Structure 1
Amino acid sequence: MKTFVRIVLALIVIAVLVIAGMIWIPSERTPAQALAPDSEVSVARGEYMMRAADCIACHTAPEGKTFAGGRAIQSPFGVIWSTNITPDKETGIGNYTLDDFRAALYDGVNKEGAHLYPAMPYENYRVISEADVQSLYKYFMEAVPAVNNKVPETDLAFPFNQRWGLRAWNWVALNPVGFDAPTDDQMINRGAYLVQGAAHCAACHSPRTMFMSQKGANASDPAFLSGGEVDGWSAPSLHGADSVAGQWSVEQMAHYLATGRNDYATAVGEMSLVVGDSLQYLTPEDNTAIAAYLKHISGGKTPAAPDAANRTVTDTEKLLASADPSMPLGPRLYLDNCSGCHFVDGRGAPEIFPALDGNLMVTADSPKGLIYTILHGAELPSTETRPARLRMQSYAWRLSDEEVAELATFIRQGWNNNASAVTASDVAPVR
């Protein structure tokens, strides 16, 4: 019900913005900026920034040619089709000048002057430096093969099909172009530059305003990176002592970014794609810089490692270890389907099977991510340092909606977890 009300409010607000867009027309184009004398512009730098910006994930359709577009991006207002960003002159960006390219990245305006939907994270890309913009342009124009591929037209219902109304949205949502270094520490600043800009972490990990813009452009806003939702998945908070960044060490966080796994968790859902297509290609120094920045905005403290020898055995572990035939359905389903990998203590195996006790996806406000994983399984990306593509099987074929609800409730409330129960009506839409 809350989601429905939020969407209705957004519809009303954006309809007002559409009308406002008829009256007020802000400046769209950002003029060329002078490069510092020592700034390097190169194809190699552009390719690296393409990886940091994760362009492949959105602009490559399943089984399609790289960057040729045609991927369906789900939004609360309908499907948005990603564009062809190869240098094809007919269907891609082959006729784009550098100024056209910059306007798309910074302002969300294409060569014809039409507004791009903010599924393209130009809110974040406004942080990218001029040298990196020019390098990206050089890479796409000189190193990417042109692919003639006409993608489907995005056709949203009124008023969202009135793209010119996004002028008013941009006025509300966009911050000034450029990056403000938050500290005197060069490593933390580098991490901030990547997190706030190319890596566009806030697109998933920040909540949305009533205008559907991202809350907070940097850590001066406590809502920045405080958790969001992506296609039903809960993206955990990365800001604050109770967040993932607050609970993990810089080393564990950097390892997760590069491999999709660490001693506490494994990447699933959209994050698996981010690791596979983007973060694994960053240098160890940049992944460490990202982790250092996230640790910085989360208080900078690393909690003590759990004392495995003196840990408290939970009632859940005792129940599961007893294998009592009369135990409730939830724990019985866990023993039958989950304990072989995640074990009766719910701690899993580091870098292979994620811990379920204390797992932030398990205990998220929305159980949809956990339900989806139980129904459809999950797969870890293959990376250079961890090439094994580990996969959890799906259970949709084996468990009914009621059984999935019982199992999910048990996991969300077992060991030291204390999350809300799951019902069969929560499972059915995900199935």
Structure 2
Amino acid sequence: MKKMLKGLGAALCVALPFIAQAPADAATASATGAADQTLVQRGAYLAQLGDCAACHTAPKGKPFAGGLPMNTPMGRIYVTNITPDARTGIGGYTEADFARALREGVAKDGHNLYPAMPYPSYAKVDDDDVKALYAFFMHGVAPVQQANRESDIKWPLNMRWPLMFWNMAFLEKGAYRDKSGKDVAWNRGAYLVQGLGHCGSCHTPRGVAFQESALDESGSAFLSGALLDGWFASNLTGEHNTGLGRWSDEDLRTFLKTGANRHASAFGAMTSVINNSTQAMSDQDVAAVSTYLKSLPPVGGTGAAAYTYDPQATKVSLDRPANDAGARVYTAYCMHCHGVDGHGFAPMLAPLAGNPNVLAKDASSLINVTLNGTGDLVIDGVPSPFPMPGFAAVLDDQQIADVLSFVRAGWNNGAPAVGAAEVAKLRQSTQAGR
């Protein structure tokens, strides 16, 4: 079941920098000129909030022309062309067709979309925002004639009609409605997090049918962290150790705008989300998202006592010569960036002491980032000078297990050790095809 979820979720949070492209030819420019430019521009902003390029633009491909492959245990599927090309894209969609696909996961011809498209979240998008998004995709995106590819999934697994029953069971229709007793900022934040931001698609655990276990704060599992495509998407509740409990409102706003703060740095798919979605958010929307997330009560975590920093035992183990295998690897490869004290040089170089990703019970993210490194955070067009390098070609499975076990025990982190078999498994799944 988890393998299926990983495959279906692979393209949920990965983003590419193509949202606000200008029309590419005279015909598109003419059509744009005839449209309400204010509405088109608003739709462009909403498309950034929704991170629409995540699935619909392939690497080095044209904006929103599709073709991005997604691997699932059943076979490979290819995302679709959503440019306004009349033959191969959505140029023939009415606004009602567009709204149905966005919010109900049903294409114009009636076939069901795979729930890798986060339509259970987009179901909460209101009519005004749907109208603006439609205006953007019809008049603010260049049409690209690129035929959609059939999936590689073999019959009978490629039949989509069973998704009708999945929708009946798990799709909650209806736009977000403001909660009484909550202020404007809280409700705006809830609308963005639950709807266009579709944060739960990655950060909420899935059930046996791959459905999100909760779609809003009324469910105890909502945003409590989840394993997805070789990464553990962090706990976003107020949990003290592995969540946002120690983050101030300013910490969270800084992270959303820059991808790094005094507690942690973005990695994996979140790097692209920062690059192409959250850094473009208005200050008002960033504040609203922070207000909502900071209101969530603590859920999940490891049950450990509240983290407090203690460097002494770790400092002793790092004294030259380092006195265990993990400390020796850390001294050779990690200490120059993350420090003897584990504080790193935040926000440019992530701290390890008390980092929520280090404290998490699931070590997948730590293993993955050690093997494969991180992509560049690019803020206002300037790449981060110190991305995390990958060590897959430098360190073997046991060495990575040793150093991560050392880090998870160090500075009073108190997290479980990592085994070489865990590293080997993730190495195989993430290195395949490289």
TM-score of the pair, normalised by structure 2 = 0.84
Per-residue deviation at 1:428? 1.9
Please, which of 333, 352, 358 is the counterpart of residue 348 of structure 2? Answer: 352
Matches within 5 A, 1:224-235: 224-235=222-233
Please, which of 367, 370, 386 is the counterpart of residue 371 of structure 1? Answer: 367
Tell me, yes or no, if the aligned pair for 2:230 and 2:368 is still in contact at 8 Å: no
* Alignment correspondent of 2:304: none
Per-residue deviation at 1:226? 1.0
Q: Look up the SS of the partner of 1:395 in the other structure.
A: coil
Per-residue deviation at 1:212? 0.8
* Alignment correspondent of 1:185: 183
Please, which of 128, 132, 147 is the counterpart of residue 129 of structure 2? Answer: 132
Tell me, yes or no, if the aligned pair for 1:236 and 1:244 is still in contact at 8 Å: yes
Q: Deviations over 1:12-42 (max 9, x none)?
A: xxxxxxxxxxxxxxxxxxxxxxxxxxxx971
Tell me, yes or no, if the aligned pair for 1:259 and 1:386 is still in contact at 8 Å: no
Matches within 5 A, 1:296-335: 296-298=295-297, 312-320=310-318, 322-325=319-322, 327-335=323-331
* Alignment correspondent of 1:203: 201
Q: Look up the SS of the partner of 1:245 in the other structure.
A: coil
Q: Look up the SS of the partner of 2:257 in the other structure.
A: helix
Distance 1:391 1:313 in 2: 25
* Alignment correspondent of 2:18: none
Tell me, yes or no, if the aligned pair for 1:275 and 1:381 is still in contact at 8 Å: yes
Matches within 5 A, 1:17-416: 42-75=39-72, 77-157=74-154, 160-182=157-179, 183-242=181-240, 243-298=242-297, 312-320=310-318, 322-325=319-322, 327-384=323-380, 387-416=383-412
Number of aligned positions between the proteins: 386
Matched, 1:424 2:423: no
Tell me, yes or no, if the aligned pair for 1:86 and 1:147 is still in contact at 8 Å: yes
Q: Look up the SS of the partner of 2:70 in the other structure.
A: strand
Aligned residue identity for 1:375: L
1:276/1:338 Cα in 2 relative to 1: closer, same or farther (>3 Å)?
same
1:348/1:185 Cα in 2 relative to 1: closer, same or farther (>3 Å)?
same
1:291/1:329 Cα in 2 relative to 1: closer, same or farther (>3 Å)?
same
Distance 1:76 1:288 in 2: 40
Distance 1:394 1:388 in 2: 16
Q: Deviations over 1:41-61 (max 9, x none)?
A: 710110011000001121111
Q: Deviations over 1:383-417 (max 9, x none)?
A: 12965353122212211122111112111222222
1:324/1:366 Cα in 2 relative to 1: closer, same or farther (>3 Å)?
same
Tell me, yes or no, if the aligned pair for 1:49 and 1:136 is still in contact at 8 Å: yes
Aligned residue identity for 2:199: C
Question: Which moves more between the two structures, 234-243 or 260-269?
Answer: 234-243
Q: Look up the SS of the partner of 2:411 in the other structure.
A: coil
Tell me, yes or no, if the aligned pair for 2:70 and 2:76 is still in contact at 8 Å: yes
Q: Look up the SS of the partner of 1:163 in the other structure.
A: coil
Distance 1:409 1:285 in 2: 41
Q: Unaligned stretches of 5+ in structure 2?
A: 9-36, 299-307, 428-434
Per-residue deviation at 1:114? 0.3
Per-residue deviation at 1:420? 2.3
Per-residue deviation at 1:75? 4.2
Q: Unaligned stretches of 5+ in structure 1?
A: 11-39, 300-309
Aligned residue identity for 1:399: L
Identity, % of aligned positions: 40
Aligned residue identity for 2:146: N
Tell me, yes or no, if the aligned pair for 1:382 and 1:389 is still in contact at 8 Å: no
1:156/1:361 Cα in 2 relative to 1: closer, same or farther (>3 Å)?
farther
1:3/1:51 Cα in 2 relative to 1: closer, same or farther (>3 Å)?
closer
Q: Deviations over 1:57-77 (max 9, x none)?
A: 211111111111111234454
CA RMSD of aligned residues (A): 2.2
Distance 1:230 1:160 in 2: 22
Distance 2:89 2:254 in 1: 36
Q: Look up the SS of the partner of 1:317 in the other structure.
A: helix
